[in-house]
Amino acid sequence: MKTAAVLIAIMLLASTASAQSATSAPVKASTSARLSDGQPNMQGLYTRSGVKALEAEPPFNPIDPGDKNPLSVSNRGDGLGPYPRIFGEGGNVLRGQQARVQRPTGIIFPADKKLPWRPEEDAKRRQYLLDMNPPKDLRHIELNSRCALPGLFEGEDGNNPYTILQPPGQVVILYDYNHTSRAIDLNRREHLGKNIRLFMGDSIGHWEGNTLVVDTTNFNGRVAYSREIPYLSEDLHTVERFTVVNENTIDYEVTIEDPKLFTGPWKVAGAFARASKDVESLEFACAEGSQTLQNIFGTPPAR
Amino acid sequence: MTKSKGSIKAAFVVAFMVCLAEIPATAQTAAARPATINLPRTADGKPNFNGIWQVLNTAASDIQDHSGQLGMPPGQGVVEGGEIPYQPQALAKKRENLANRLTADPTEARCFLPGVPRATYMPYPFEIVQTPDSMAIRYEFAHALRMIPVNGSKHAEGIPPTWMGDSRGHWEGDTLVVDVANFNDQTWFDHAGNFHSDALHVVERYTMTNPDHVLYEATIEDPKVFTRTWKMSMPLYRRVDKNVKLLEYECVFYLQEERYKNAPFK
């Protein structure tokens, strides 16, 4: 009977212990420097800047919104401009606190901004751009116009904020832009199998001090880097570094490797600035994705 | 030796019976969930909903009882009481939607965002992201996304109506309650044509009944369409597959690829 008492006592102790941990004092995680799983706390609403930048000697771009370009959509003269400005193409408008500008941003390697294109691939993409306006076929329409997921580089600098949430074991980035989201898994070490292809890729990450290092593969070969680089291939592999500089600033750097298109890696730098109090996250449904193609190509045959 | 053997056997019988007494009965409502089920909890003491969840019902086809048809599995309805209390003119509109659903269903025919609560019971997984002040739900279908402040804030004013609603969460004990308002009238509740107006107001309740199941309840209020409030309820099942991850179902993109593959037309 002594053994029975010990067994019952053990079971009662076990359930009491769990109840105690459940009712221990709650942690107000949102303002502390470290979260419950040890991650540096960079949660909040941010605007991004600097990531999208022109390479040296950019190709002629018939989609360019510049007023000087007679082919640009804002000069169509049919009342559909200033379409690009509505979507914030006019520049980096930071509604939040000003990010530090001391660091170089945009393409930082190679320093001369001449990207290491494979010559035949550079020639292909220059022709591809010419075939985008007027568009030769569906493939030559910008993904932004189709409301497709933007990948890591598009998604708006300045006009559509980003929300960072950090539940245990993850960093989740929510874009206002086209209601996009990325979940960066801190506990997984292997990427998805090579036959799963995603616009946003598959991201796994780990912290090195105050820097979140994110490795992403499994892209689908359709996402753009910018207007002038309208696609990166399925072989794209990126390594991003998000460095928490202070409570209002995250420095951002991404190394882009795409051996199909380039002979070597290149690097881009930018920053996230914590948004000011009047900036709100709003729904960006992108329902136009279902109408734009009809405007461009005409009504498709009935299903 | 014989006496101590008997004592040990008696001890096991007593211990076993104590354990049996702690196993809850199967048919528990949310309120009566026994305190002895230990839920996973976050550092701030709340049930931890982080993870990937999915329904196992066919409510996306029809939230009421429906028999099978070619390509459509049967299902028992998720509407409590079975009836959806339409106003007479609204019932006529539902029947018209049903008849035209192949082209009129905004989600199935055009890949528009599914709204709330349809996003919950689309046959695709979704991921709940939970932090103390702020939650989000990421849906695999059409990368739909909802942000849910859990910071006491009220619904935003002066913003246009939305597809996925404006969500504000708070806790009632261990239940997450999400008040959703400011909808547009562009979404349906299912492929059977059940619909709402821009006066829709939804109150969701997420109650974790054990670590891998959530009781999901959605109360529907829409004075332009229904004669009273009504409610859906269903279990959510945690996706416990190894390395499970939300992937992409880019409905709009796939639809465009099919419809415009021979573009241009003009």
| Beta carbons of A36 and B14 less than 8 Å apart | no
Strand order in the sheet with B230-238: B145-149, B134-139, B126-130, B51-54, B230-238, B213-221, B201-210, B175-181, B166-172
For residue A21, list chain B residues with Cβ-Cβ distance below 8 A: 41
User: Which among A4, A138, A283 is the nearest to B10, CB-wise?
Assistant: A4
Give B6's pLDDT tier (boundaries 50, 70, 90). low
Quick one: pLDDT at residue A154?
Answer: 80
- Measured from the Cβ of residue A194, the count of other Cβ atoms closer than 10 Å reads 9
| Beta carbons of A148 and B253 less than 8 Å apart | yes
A268 lies in some domain: yes
A158: left (phi over 0), alpha (psi -120 to 50) or beta: left
User: Which among A167, A181, A290 is the nearest to B252, CB-wise?
Assistant: A290
Distance, in Å, from the CA atom of B24 to the CA atom of B205, rounded to the nearest integer, reads 22
Nearest chain B CA: its distance from A82 CA (Å)? 22
Cα A41–A43–A44 angle (5° rounding)?
A: 145
Residue B167 tokens, joined: 């969500």
Nearest CA in chain B to A292: B256
Give B103's pLDDT tier (boundaries 50, 70, 90). very high
User: Which among B110, B246, B266 is the nearest to A290, CB-wise?
Assistant: B110
Q: Quick one: angle between helices A2-22 and B2-22, nearest 10?
A: 30
For residue A179, list chain B residues with Cβ-Cβ distance below 8 A: 113, 143-145, 164
Distance, in Å, from the CA atom of B209 to the CA atom of B28, rounded to the nearest integer, reads 9
pLDDT tens string A48-62? 988 877 899 888 877
Give B7's pLDDT tier (boundaries 50, 70, 90). low
The verdict on whether omega for the bond into residue A65 sits within 30 degrees of 0, i.e. cis, is no
Are B214 and B236 contacting, i.e. CB atoms less than 8 angstroms apart? yes
Nearest chain A CA: its distance from B157 CA (Å)? 12
Nearest CA in chain A to B13: A4
| Beta carbons of B132 and A30 less than 8 Å apart | yes
Domain ranges of chain B: 51-259
Half-sphere exposure at residue B33, Cβ-oriented, CA atoms within 13 angstroms: 16
| Beta carbons of A30 and B133 less than 8 Å apart | yes
Distance, in Å, from the CA atom of A269 to the CA atom of A102, rounded to the nearest integer, reads 12
For residue A63, give its domain range. 44-297
| Beta carbons of B50 and A170 less than 8 Å apart | yes
Quick one: pLDDT at residue B33?
Answer: 55
User: Which among A22, A167, A170 is the nearest to B45, CB-wise?
Assistant: A22
Supply the pTM of this predicted model.
0.85
User: Which among A26, A281, A283 is the nearest to B163, CB-wise?
Assistant: A283
Average pLDDT over residues B12-41: 58
Nearest chain A CA: its distance from B233 CA (Å)? 27
| Beta carbons of B110 and A149 less than 8 Å apart | no
Are A271 and A50 contacting, i.e. CB atoms less than 8 angstroms apart? yes
Strands (E), chain B: 51-54, 126-130, 134-139, 145-149, 166-172, 175-181, 201-210, 213-221, 230-238
Distance, in Å, from the CA atom of B110 to the CA atom of B112, rounded to the nearest integer, reads 6
Across-strand partners of B237? B54, B213
| Beta carbons of B134 and A185 less than 8 Å apart | no
| Beta carbons of B250 and A282 less than 8 Å apart | no
Nearest CA in chain B to A38: B43
Q: What is the mean pLDDT of chain B?
A: 90
For residue A296, list chain B residues with Cβ-Cβ distance below 8 A: 263-264
User: Which among A148, A178, A297 is the nearest to B265, CB-wise?
Assistant: A297
Q: Indicate the range of A73-87, B164-178, B226-240 predicted with least confidence.
A: A73-87
- Backbone phi and psi for residue B18, each to the nearest 5 degrees, phi listed first: -65, -40
Read out DSSP for chain A? -HHHHHHHHHHHHHHHHHHHHHTSPPP-GGGSSB-TTS-B---EEEEEES-S-PPSSPPP-TT---TT-TTSGGGSSSS-TTHHHHTTTT-----SSPPP-SS--EEEESTT----B-HHHHHHHHHHHHTBTTBSSGGGS-GGGGT---TTT-S-SSSS-EEEE--TTEEEEEESGGG-EEEEESS--SPPPTT--BSS-EEEEEEETTEEEEEEE-B-S---SSSSS----TT-EEEEEEEEEETTEEEEEEEEE-TTTBSS-EEEEEEEEEPPTT--------GGGGTHHHHHH-PPPP-
Nearest chain A CA: its distance from B80 CA (Å)? 31
A22 lies in some domain: no
| Beta carbons of A19 and B35 less than 8 Å apart | yes
Distance, in Å, from the CA atom of A153 to the CA atom of A90, rounded to the nearest integer, reads 17
A153: left (phi over 0), alpha (psi -120 to 50) or beta: alpha
Cα A96–A97–A101 angle (5° rounding)?
A: 115
Helix (H, G, I), strand (E, B) or coil at B89: helix
| Beta carbons of B265 and A299 less than 8 Å apart | yes
| Beta carbons of B145 and A188 less than 8 Å apart | no
Q: Which of residues 90-149 of B touch A (CB under 8 A)?
A: 103, 110-113, 127, 129-134, 136, 138, 143-145, 147
Average pLDDT over residues B52-77: 97
pLDDT tens string B174-214? 999 999 999 999 999 999 999 999 999 999 999 999 999 99
What is the number of structural domains in chain A?
1
Nearest CA in chain A to B251: A148
For residue B149, list chain A residues with Cβ-Cβ distance below 8 A: none
Q: Long-range contacts: B218-224, Cβ < 8 Å, 24+?
A: B218/B116, B218/B117, B218/B120, B220/B189, B220/B196, B222/B196, B222/B197, B223/B199, B224/B87, B224/B90, B224/B197, B224/B198, B224/B199
Per-residue pLDDT tens listing for chain A (303 residues): 555 554 444 444 444 443 333 333 333 335 689 999 999 999 999 999 888 778 998 888 777 545 455 555 544 555 444 334 334 333 334 444 554 556 888 999 999 999 999 999 999 999 999 999 889 999 999 888 899 999 998 866 667 899 999 999 999 999 999 999 999 999 999 999 999 999 999 999 999 999 999 999 999 999 999 889 999 999 999 999 999 999 999 999 999 999 999 999 999 999 999 988 878 788 988 876 667 888 888 889 887
- With CA atoms as reference, report the closest residue to B137 among B169, B171, B102, B159: B169
Rg of chain B on CA atoms, in Å = 22
Identity of the residue numbered B13: V
For residue A297, list chain B residues with Cβ-Cβ distance below 8 A: 260, 263-266
| Beta carbons of B136 and A11 less than 8 Å apart | no
| Beta carbons of B131 and A26 less than 8 Å apart | no
| Beta carbons of B11 and A18 less than 8 Å apart | no
Cα A270–A275–A277 angle (5° rounding)?
A: 170
b/e map of A129-145 (b: 16 or more CB within 10 Å)?
A: beebbebeebbbbbbbb
For residue B19, list chain A residues with Cβ-Cβ distance below 8 A: 11
Strand pairing category for A237-246 and A211-217: antiparallel
A123 lies in some domain: yes
Distance, in Å, from the CA atom of A236 to the CA atom of B27, rounded to the nearest integer, reads 51
Distance, in Å, from the CA atom of A16 to the CA atom of B22, rounded to the nearest integer, reads 13
In the block, residue with structure tokens 């040296």? A56
Identity of the residue numbered B170: H
